[in-house]
A and B are shown apart, each in its own frame.
Chain A
Amino acid sequence: MLDKDRELVERIQNPESRNAAFRELMSLYQEKLYSHIRRMVGNHTDADDVLQNTFVKVYRHINKFKGDAKLYTWLYKIASNEALTYLNKETKMRSVTFEPQHAKTGFRPGPDGEEIGHKLKQAIATLPEKQRQVFDLKYFEDLKYEEIAEITGTSVGGLKASYYHAVKKIEAFLTH
């Protein structure tokens, strides 16, 4: 764990500085966690719910955080679990609502304009939840396999297989 993260966690674990330090943690990680959750759940309203739940959980369990793992992998783990729990609940009730095609894609326009970004979003939405999680953490967040293994609790070999499967499916979606 980085020194600044350790110091931040210690301040959160101290009742006197808890709230101020926790606000600091939120402002440090909110954008990254939001992007990850948003890509997982597909729309802003649900991403907001899941992100709030994530931070409430972090606040409740920060005393159990011993610093064996990196702070951001621990945060991603909670965020990922919250997103997956939400997706499981949602799929039981109805299919996940990804924002409509005409909505802003959220992907930066490449040489082919927004088209490829929009198609990629659609392709990601077709992936099973676990593959979506792995693809997101690797492709967009650019985490190492070892870090993703820590977050997902899966072996590195299993993760690579899952990632390649996801990539293959996305390519097939984009080229057909």
Chain B
Amino acid sequence: MSTDHDKEKEYLEELAPSIFKKKIQSNEKPPEGYFDTLGDRVMNRIDAENSHRQNMPEKKAVKLVNWKNVGVAAAIAAVIATAQFFYMYTQQDDPVAEKSEISIPQDFGSTTVEDYLSEEDIYEAFAASDIRAGEILTDEEIIEEEIIIDYLLQEDLSEELIIEELES
């Protein structure tokens, strides 16, 4: 009765007769005397590596978190936060601050602005701005313009002419 080993042998002999009909022996020989010195060379390498390791400076363990520094930083942050809180608190209650020049009254409106600014300042502000003359029209002026347009339309003038007239 053939075993698995025999079956495999038969299979391999069929698969690759060149190397299984007669097994080829390998005999990789190193140079003469190689093994006589191998042991010494390996031990020398081990000794050299050992002494190299011993001579290497000991690695310092680096702490990822230095809790002392974290404590100091937390204390400083707490002092700054407390100071800021007290500063803001005292600013709110300070009666002088309420009356200061920069305090803004709650009922602040356009009339108040006019009270504060002179007429000359307002003109200067308009002159400095990009607002073109004619864009700011009083109510009377707006009404006048509408009357003119109606009139022109009644006169059967073309729309293009009216637009042209208005733009000129």
A residues whose Cβ falls under 8 Å from a Cβ of B = 19, 22-23, 26-27, 30-31, 34-35, 38-39, 44, 47-48, 51-52, 55-56, 59, 106-108, 110-111, 116-117, 120, 139-140, 164, 167-168, 170-171, 174-175
What's the tally of chain B residues with a CB closer than 8 Å to chain A? 27
The dominant DSSP class at the B interface is helix
| Given A56-B42, A111-B22; 7 other pairs, CB 8 A cutoff | A27-B35, A35-B26, A38-B28, A52-B41, A107-B25, A107-B27, A108-B26
Q: Which of B22, B29, B39 contacts A110 (CB 8 A)?
A: B22
Q: Are B30 and A171 neighbours in the complex by a CB distance under 8 Å?
A: no
Q: Are B45 and A52 neighbours in the complex by a CB distance under 8 Å?
A: yes
Q: Are A106 and B29 neighbours in the complex by a CB distance under 8 Å?
A: yes
- A171 CB to closest chain B CB (Å) equals 4
Quick one: closest A residue to B47, CB to CB?
A19
When distances are taken between beta carbons in the complex, the residues of chain A under 8 Å from B1 are none
Q: Decide if B117 is an interface residue (CB 8 Å cutoff).
A: no
Quick one: closest B residue to A140, CB to CB?
B26
The dominant DSSP class at the A interface is helix
- A131 CB to closest chain B CB (Å) equals 14
When distances are taken between beta carbons in the complex, the residues of chain B under 8 Å from A164 are 12, 15
Quick one: closest B residue to A163, CB to CB?
B12
Q: How far is the CA of A168 from the CA of B16 in the complex (A)?
A: 6
